[in-house]
A and B are shown apart, each in its own frame.
Chain A
Amino acid sequence: MSIFVDGNTRVVYQGLTGSAGRYYGLLNRDYGTKVVAGTHPRKAGSDVDGIPVFATVGDAVAATDADASCIFVPAPGVPDAVAEAAEGGVRFIVVITEGVPMHDEARTFAHLQRHHPDVRLLGPNCPGVISPGQCNIGITAGHIALPGGPVGIVSRSGTLTYQALHELKQKGIGCTTCVGIGGDPVPGTNFIDCLAAFEADPETEAVMLIGEIGGSAEEEAAEFIAANVSKPVVAYVAGMTAPPGKKMGHAGAIVSGGRGTAAAKVEALSAAGVRVGSNPTAAGELMAEVVAAL
């Protein structure tokens, strides 16, 4: 089992004809993802390496039964692309694009909540999602992940997600699904959404959570874990030494007014019974202990 996506997920790529969309779309297909369509308003009827291109997501869904979308369009076009995907009938939308303005993200999320409450948005500015051996949507190098479980991963950071997958694979530990929720201020899917899904997934037996400075998503995750998660959780939080008032690469990674510090997040997670590693390698070792004891 897995969460959000599996071997049956059929994906349409919005922006497949662009350079990044084509590159990752074809890589995802090579991995085994069912990449069934692309869209471009003026290139309907053409194809990208055999993948048919349609004018809209609605057309693509009608012709190919796509049920998920992956968005690679430039930042200014993201709100319309998400609305089109939801309108077109897919139930899961992944936005890889970075640099989307906060107000666009907030409006887009609210629009989906109001008009398409059953649609799940992942991102923007995220690496995507991979259920190893079944489906890889986004920019993760599929081969660094070992299929099978028992660990589910959720992370705000791209490269630290890869690092976590790699550390686990070195130890022979597989992954059910790895979700990169991204580091932006308004993530479509947050820690709690993923924790709830992993808790409900019978094949996920432990969860790795990778957080970073800024906001209070880790503190809220800690509260949720204490109340609702029976499976063991291991965490790592990046930015212990980050100075206040500086954005550390991600738009959302900022300590301001004494809030959003890594220390406060580690404390909240520890208090909720989460085992927190002081660095990614230490977290990997903690997870190996947890898995050995399952």
Chain B
Amino acid sequence: MDLLEHQGKEFFASYGLPTSPGEVAFSSDEAVAAAERIGYPVVVKAQVHVGGRGKAGGIKLGSDADEVCRHAEAILGLDIRGHVVGRLWIEKAADIAEEYYAGFTLDRSARRHLGMLSAQGGVDIEEVAATAPEAIARIHIDPTEGLTAEACRRWVAEARLNPAVTEQAVDLLSLLYRAYVEGDADLVEVNPLIVTGDGRLHVLDAKVTLDGNATFRHPDYAAYAETVERDEREQEAHARGLQYVGLDGTVGVIANGAGLAMATVDIVDEAGGTPANFLDIGGGANADVMSAALEVVDGDPAVRAIFINIFGGITKGEEVARGIIEALGRVDIASPIILRLDGTNAAEGTEMLRPYLSERLRLAPDMVQAARTAVTAAAAGEGPS
């Protein structure tokens, strides 16, 4: 779950990290009113779930009401790499003397936490990592030990920040690590972490990804989920509790299991078609889940054919067949369905489905055949137009 910058700053502030005062605004009037309360100069910042906002013209300095109004009007509605700006963050402008980078995430290879700190902040850290890897000081942290003050001090020294802020950096990084762990974040990043003109370390930007699996101990995170941008299809699927990712093609995909769903999307592509989505219905395949999945996939106007790929393990072929038959009795599906049913009691399931087979519901003997049939059906425009 990715947070917007202002949410990330609220999250950081709740752990005692120094952030600038600011307000959210949805219109130029609100932006000006916020700026009047905060005091000029302010920065008008686009709130979208994507980086590179500055380069795209989504971050502007405003020194009076006119300027703030002009910037707000220009930024609202701006398309930043596919994300349209609908929300602004108006923040007290900071006096920047130096720009650093600090972040924590999981190093999956080491199965331990990784801290990264650099005196070269304010730029794309991936680029720094590629061009000047020695400019990033790294620290591996044993999750049972945490970040000790001693290890943190060595790490700060290695990053060669301005020696005047060493003690501040040790304190701030300890708080940032605490936010990362106690806040159940997958990633926390401050870029830039600045030194102000009067020598204070300050959080100027916030990139935070929270772990959706940890909401049971953070009920307040539900509010963040509401601002996660999803297209209409994803929203519909999410509301029905389905694991769905929207893609751009014409072949709808329904499969049981994340791996099989990914493989199904791949095989549609390999067969020369374009997948419309990834959809994992999980282990079972009962009528409720199947009808919801079919409705979501068929509701996508681009879909011309639907490929259902089910491998029965514990779930038997008869149960899958029953689910599909019942689902088709409940919902009207415009696109032809190509079904591949394999695994436990696939033959029995197939027998049950036989009376229902037609041009609208076809059986394929295996994954490859099913993909080819679905791709051909989609290309022939057999679905709705």
- Counting from the closest, the 3 A-B pairs by CB-CB distance are A157-B259, A249-B258, A159-B257
* B30 contacts A by Cβ under 8 Å: no
Contact A159 B259 (CB under 8 A): yes
- Cβ distance B118 to chain A, nearest Cβ, rounded Å: 16
Contact in complex: B257, A215 (CB < 8 Å)? no
Whether the Cβ atoms of B184 and A159 lie closer than 8 Å is no
A143 to B128, alpha carbons, bound, how many Å? 52
Specify which chain B residues have a CB less than 8 angstroms from the CB of A186 in the assembled complex: 106, 108, 111
Q: Please, which residues of chain B bring their CB within 8 A of the CB of A257?
A: 126
Q: When the two chains form their complex, are residues A243 and B247 in contact, meaning their CB atoms are under 8 A apart?
A: yes
5 sample A-B contacts, Cβ–Cβ < 8 Å, listed by A number: A106-B111, A110-B144, A114-B144, A216-B109, A241-B266
Complex Cα distance A239/B247, Å? Answer: 13
A280 to B261, CA, bound (A): 12
Encode contact with A along B294-317: 1 for CB under 8 Å, 0 otherwise. Answer: 000000000000000001111000
Interface membership of A242, Cβ < 8 A: yes
Say whether A67 faces chain B, with CB atoms less than 8 Å apart: no
CA distance A162 to B314 in the complex (A): 10
Q: Which residue of A lies closest to B315 (CB)?
A: A141
Q: Which residues of A contact B37 (CB under 8 A)?
A: none
* Closest partner residue, chain B, to A260 (CB atom): B108
Contact call A242/B106, Cβ cutoff below 8 A = no
Closest-CB distance, A267 to chain B (whole angstroms): 16
Q: Which residue from chain B places its CB closest to the CB of A99 in the assembled complex?
A: B213
Question: Is A87 on the interface with B (CB-CB < 8 A)?
Answer: no
Q: Which of A189-240 contact B (CB under 8 A)?
A: 210, 212-213, 215-217, 220, 236, 238-240
Closest to B183 in A: A103
Give the distance to chain B from A103, nearest Cβ to Cβ, in Å.
Answer: 6
B262 to chain A, nearest CB (A): 4
Q: A99-B213, A281-B367 are in contact. Are A238 and B108 (CB under 8 A)?
A: no
Asked whether any CB of chain B lies closer than 8 Å to the CB of A166, the reply is: yes
Q: How far is the CA of A250 from the CA of B243 in the complex (A)?
A: 9
Are A100 and B213 within 8 A (Cβ)? yes
Q: In whole angstroms, how far apart are the Cα atoms of A114 and B262 in the complex?
A: 36
Q: Name B's A-contacting residues (CB within 8 A).
A: 106, 108-109, 111-113, 126, 142-144, 181, 184, 186, 211, 213-214, 216-217, 243, 245, 247, 255-263, 265-267, 269-270, 275, 278, 280, 283, 311-314, 342-344, 366-368
User: Contact: B278 with A159, CB < 8 Å?
Assistant: no
**Smallest CB separation, B142 vs chain A (Å):** 5
Q: B366 to chain A: which residues have CB within 8 Å?
A: 281
Question: Is A171's CB within 8 Å of the partner chain B?
Answer: no
Report chain B residues within 8 Å CB of A166: 311, 342-343
Cα of A252 to Cα of B108 in the assembled complex, Å: 9
Contact A141 B313 (CB under 8 A): yes
Contact B214 A101, beta carbon cutoff 8 Å:
yes
**Which positions in A face B, CB cutoff 8 Å?**
27, 75-76, 99-103, 106-107, 109-111, 114, 139-141, 143-144, 155-163, 166, 183, 185-186, 210, 212-213, 215-217, 220, 236, 238-243, 246-253, 257-258, 262, 278-281
Say whether A159 contacts B313, CB under 8 Å.
yes
Interface centre among B108, B216, B342, B343 (most CB of A within 10 A): B108
Chain B, Cβ-Cβ closest to A114: B144
Chain A contacts for B184, CB-based, 8 A: 101-103
Q: Considering the chains assembled together, what is the distance between the CA atoms of A161 and B275 in angstroms? A: 23
Give the docked Cα–Cα distance between A40 and B231 (Å). 44
Give the CA-CA distance A106 to B140 in the complex, in Å: 12
A141 with B343: CB separation less than 8 A = yes
Please, which residues of chain B bring their CB within 8 A of the CB of A220?
A: 109
Contact indicator A157/B257 (Cβ below 8 Å): yes
| Chain A positions within 8 Å of B314 at CB level | 27, 139, 141
CB neighbours (8 Å) of B259 from chain A are: 155-161, 183, 210, 212, 238, 249-250
A250–B313 CA distance with the chains assembled, in angstroms:
19
Residues A248 and B263 in contact in the complex (CB < 8 Å), given A103-B143, A114-B144: no
Q: Is the CB of B243 within 8 A of A249?
A: yes
Q: Verify A248–B245 contact, CB threshold 8 A.
A: yes
> A144 and B313 in contact (CB under 8 A), knowing A110-B142, A241-B269?
yes
- In contact, B263 and A249 (Cβ under 8 angstroms): no
B343-A106 in contact (CB<8A): no
Q: Is the CB of A238 within 8 A of B109?
A: no
Chain A residue at minimal CB-CB distance from B181: A103
Q: Which residue of A lies closest to B267 (CB)?
A: A279
In the complex the two chains form, what is the Cα distance from A253 to B280 in whole Å? Answer: 13
**What is the bound-complex CA distance between A259 and B164, given in angstroms?**
36
CA distance A150 to B106 in the complex (A): 36
Q: A157-B262, A249-B257 are in contact. List 10 more A-B contacts (CB 8 A).
A: A106-B113, A110-B142, A160-B259, A160-B260, A166-B342, A183-B258, A186-B111, A242-B265, A249-B243, A257-B126
Are A144 and B344 in contact, with the CB atoms below 8 A?
A: yes
- A103/B214 in contact, CB under 8 A: yes
Asked if B112 and A106 make an inter-chain contact with CB atoms under 8 angstroms apart, the answer reads: yes
Interface centre among B142, B181, B258, B314 (most CB of A within 10 A): B258
In the bound complex, how far is the Cα of B266 from the Cα of A212, in angstroms? Answer: 11
Q: Which of B142, B257, B270 has the most CB of A within 10 A?
A: B257
Complex contacts, B216 vs chain A, CB 8 Å: 75-76
Q: Is the CB of A102 within 8 A of B263?
A: no
Contact B257–A158 (Cβ < 8 Å)? yes
Which residues of A lie under 8 Å from residue B265 when comparing CB positions?
Answer: 239, 241-242
Shortest Cβ gap from B238 to chain A (Å): 12
Q: Which residues of A contact B344 (CB under 8 A)?
A: 141, 143-144
- Please determine whether A279 and B112 come into contact, CB atoms closer than 8 angstroms: no
CA distance A156 to B258 in the complex (A): 10
B275 to chain A: which residues have CB within 8 Å? 241
Chain B residues within an 8 Å CB radius of A114: 142, 144
Q: Which of A101, A143, A144, A155 has the most C-beta atoms of chain B within 10 angstroms of its own C-beta? A: A101
Do the beta carbons of A185 and B106 come within 8 Å of each other?
Answer: yes
- Asked if A280 and B367 make an inter-chain contact with CB atoms under 8 angstroms apart, the answer reads yes
- Closest Cβ of chain B to A241, distance in Å, is 5
